[in-house]
C-alpha cells in the first residue's frame, strides 16, 4: 500500500509539472514571420558499436560468464556486444526525452535482435531542473558503475556483485531526482573533462519500479522502492570525489526454473540490498570501489531448492588517465568478488566469483577506441542442471568501439 501511495504521489507531481510548464508565454519577435524550431534542432542522434573477440590465450573453454558476455567460451567467435542508437533532446526547458534501442541483443542463442533499452521523459519542476521526475523505462538508481554508460566504462563488463541487482540496469517505473546547481556544475565538469562520469542521477533519488527487470512484465502486485544519495566533492586541488549510498527493497518472482526444483509458493522471494561507493576521478590517478550486501533468491545445490539467502560482494579498481598528443591512454586494474545468487538466471544460479582484470584502453580520436583486457577468473556457478561447477581460467579480450 505504501508503494502505491508513493507511486501516485510521484506520478501526480510529474503530471502537475507537465501541465504547469505548458502554460502559454508571450514571445516578442522582430520578424513578421515567427521562426519555428525544426525537429533536427531539438533531437540529437548519437550511439556506439562494440565488437569483441574473447578467445585469445584462452585456457578453459568451459569458463563462461552469462551475465557479462555471452561470447566467453567454446562455440563462440567474433561478437557484437552492443549496437546502440540514442535519440534525445530538450523539447523545451522543462521536458527532456531519451530513447535508446540496442540492435545486438542475443535471444535463445540467436544474435542481433533489436530490443528497447531506454524510453523515458524527464519533467522539470523548475526551469533549472533542480527538481525533476523521470517516467518510463530507465536505469534504476542503484550502484555507481551501473549508472555509468558502457560507452565510457573502462572494464569491458560491469561487476557481478552490483549488476546482479538490476539486470540490464533498467526497469519500468517513476523516479524523482534532486540535483542542486552546485552539484550539476561539478557533474558537468566531470563530463567536460572526459573523466568518465556516471551522469546526473541526482544528489538524491527516490523511485518506484516493477522490479522484474527491463522489457519484462510485472509478475506480482509489489513494486520495488529505491533510494540513493550521491554527492561529488571538489577538493582544493581540483580533484573531484564522489561518495554515495543506496538501497532498494521489493519482492521478485523467478521466471526461469528447472523442472522439479523446489522453492517458495509462486517462486516469489525477498529482494533487498544496500550499497556504498567511493569514486576518485582520474586526474591522472583514479580509484573506484563499491560494495553491497543484502538478501535474495539463491540456489542451494545440497537441497536442490531455491531459498532466500544472504549475498555480498563488490569491486575495487585503480586506473590512470593520460594524453599523448591527441591520444587518450587509460590503463586499469580491477578485482571483483561476489558471493550470492543471480535472480535473473536459471534457478537463481548460485555464484562465488573472484576475478582479476588488467586492461588498457587507447583512444586515438573521439570516434574510435580499443580495449585490451587480460582476465584471470575463478568462478563457481551452480543450478539444478549445473552441479558442482567450478571453473577457473584466463583469457585475453579485445574490444573495438566506434562512437557516433
Give residue 79's pLDDT: 96
Residue numbers of the domain that contains 143: 40-403
What pLDDT shows up at residue 284? 96
- The structural domain count of the chain equals 1
26-42 average pLDDT score: 59
Better pLDDT: 173 or 11: 173
Give pLDDT tens digits for 310-339.
Answer: 999 999 999 999 999 999 999 999 999 999
Q: Does 1 fall in a domain?
A: no
Q: What is the C-alpha to C-alpha distance for residues 262 and 391, in angstroms, rounded to an integer? A: 25
Q: Is the pLDDT of residue 13 over 60?
A: no
* Residue 228 burial (10 A CB sphere; 0-12, 13-18, 19+): buried
Domain annotation covers residue 13? no
For residue 52, give the CATH number of its domain.
2.40.160.10
As given in the structure block, the three cell numbers for residue 206 are: 527516490
Q: Which long-range contacts (CB under 8 A, 24 or more apart) does 386-389 make?
A: 386/349, 387/301, 388/301
Residue 16 domain-assigned? no
Examine residue 338 and state whether it is found in any structural domain, yes or no: yes
- What are the tens digits of pLDDT across the range 114-148? 999 999 999 999 999 999 999 999 999 999 999 99
Q: State if pTM tops 0.85.
A: yes
In a domain, 383, yes or no: yes
> Across all residues in the chain, what is the average pLDDT?
92
Over residues 340-357, mean pLDDT = 98
pLDDT classification of 19: cutoffs 50, 70, 90? very low
Contact 191, 198 (CB under 8 A): no
Pairing of strands 170-178, 110-124: unpaired
Which of 73-77, 181-185, 208-212 is predicted least confidently? 73-77
DSSP 296-345: EEEEETTTTEEEEEEEEEEEEEEEE-EEETTEEEEEEEEEEEEEEE-TTS
What pLDDT does residue 14 have?
A: 52
Domain contains 397: yes
Look at residue 25 and tell me if it is in a domain.
Answer: no
- What pLDDT, on a 0 to 100 scale, did the predictor assign at position 108? 81
pLDDT at 38: 77
Q: What are phi and psi of 21, to 5 degrees?
A: -80, -10
And the C-alpha cell for 391?
Answer: 571453473
**Predicted pLDDT of residue 10:** 55
Q: How far apart are CA 272 and CA 270, in angstroms?
A: 6
For the four alpha carbons of 198, 199, 201 and 203, in that order, the dihedral sign comes to: positive
Asked if the structure places residue 284 within a domain, the reply is yes
Handedness of CA 369, 372, 377, 380 (dihedral sign): positive
Distances (CA, A) of 265 to 253, 260, 268, 269, 271: 10, 13, 7, 9, 15
For the chain, give the percent of residues with pLDDT over 70: 91
DSSP-H helix ranges across 193-248: none
User: Residue 219 is placed in which grid cell?
Assistant: 509478475
The closest of 252, 280, 283 to 267, measured between CA atoms, is 252
67 has a pLDDT exceeding 70: yes
C-alpha cell at 330: 587509460
Q: What is the reported pLDDT for 298?
A: 98
Which contiguous run of DSSP H or E holds residue 187? helix 181-192
Three cell numbers written together for 36 = 519555428
Q: Give the tens place of pLDDT for each residue, 228-250.
A: 999 999 999 999 999 999 999 99
Q: Report whether pLDDT(9) > 90.
A: no
Question: In 10 A of CB 62, how many CB atoms?
Answer: 11
- What is the Cα–Cα distance from 211 to 272, expressed in whole angstroms? 11
Amino acid at each position: 500500500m505504501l508503494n502505491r501511495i508513493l507511486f501516485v504521489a510521484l506520478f501526480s507531481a510529474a503530471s502537475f509539472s507537465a501541465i504547469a510548464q505548458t502554460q502559454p508565454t508571450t514571445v516578442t519577435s522582430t520578424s513578421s514571420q515567427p521562426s519555428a524550431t525544426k525537429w533536427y534542432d531539438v533531437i540529437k542522434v548519437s550511439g556506439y558499436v562494440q565488437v569483441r573477440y574473447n578467445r585469445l590465450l584462452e585456457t578453459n573453454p568451459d569458463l563462461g560468464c552469462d551475465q557479462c558476455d555471452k561470447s566467453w567460451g567454446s562455440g563462440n567467435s567474433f561478437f557484437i556486444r552492443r549496437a546502440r542508437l540514442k535519440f534525445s533532446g530538450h523539447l523545451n526547458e522543462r521536458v527532456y526525452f531519451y530513447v535508446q534501442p540496442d540492435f545486438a541483443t542475443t535471444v535463445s542463442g540467436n544474435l542481433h535482435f533489436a530490443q528497447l533499452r531506454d524510453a523515458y521523459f524527464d519533467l522539470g519542476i523548475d526551469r533549472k531542473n533542480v527538481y525533476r521526475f523521470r517516467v518510463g523505462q530507465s536505469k534504476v538508481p542503484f550502484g555507481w558503475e551501473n549508472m555509468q554508460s558502457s560507452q565510457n566504462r573502462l572494464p569491458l563488463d560491469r561487476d557481478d556483485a552490483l549488476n546482479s541487482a538490476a539486470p540490464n540496469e533498467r526497469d519500468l517505473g517513476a523516479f524523482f531526482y534532486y540535483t542542486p546547481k552546485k552539484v550539476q556544475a561539478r557533474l558537468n565538469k566531470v563530463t567536460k573533462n572526459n573523466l568518465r562520469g556516471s551522469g546526473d542521477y541526482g544528489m538524491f533519488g527516490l523511485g518506484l519500479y516493477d522490479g522484474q527487470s527491463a522489457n519484462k512484465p510485472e509478475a506480482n502486485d509489489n513494486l520495488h522502492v529505491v533510494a540513493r544519495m550521491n554527492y561529488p566533492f571538489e577538493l582544493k586541488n581540483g580533484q573531484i570525489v564522489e561518495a554515495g549510498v543506496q538501497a532498494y527493497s521489493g519482492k521478485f518472482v523467478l521466471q526461469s526454473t528447472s523442472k522439479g526444483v523446489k522453492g517458495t509458493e509462486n517462486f516469489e522471494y525477498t529482494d533487498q540490498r544496500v550499497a556504498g561507493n567511493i569514486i576518485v576521478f582520474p586526474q591522472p590517478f583514479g580509484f573506484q570501489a563499491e560494495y553491497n550486501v543484502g538478501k535474495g533468491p539463491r540456489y542451494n545445490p545440497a537441497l536442490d531448492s531455491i531459498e532466500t539467502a544472504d549475498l555480498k560482494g563488490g569491486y575495487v579498481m585503480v586506473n590512470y588517465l593520460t594524453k599523448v598528443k591527441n591520444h587518450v591512454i587509460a590503463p586499469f586494474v580491477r578485482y571483483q568478488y561476489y558471493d550470492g545468487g543471480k535472480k535473473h538466471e536459471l534457478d537463481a544460479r548460485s555464484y562465488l566469483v573472484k576475478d582479476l582484470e588488467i586492461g588498457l584502453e587507447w583512444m586515438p580520436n573521439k570516434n574510435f577506441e580499443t580495449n585490451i583486457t587480460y582476465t584471470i577468473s575463478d568462478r563457481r556457478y551452480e543450478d539444478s542442471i549445473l552441479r558442482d561447477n567450478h571453473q577457473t581460467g584466463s583469457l585475453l579480450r579485445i574490444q573495438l568501439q566506434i562512437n557516433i
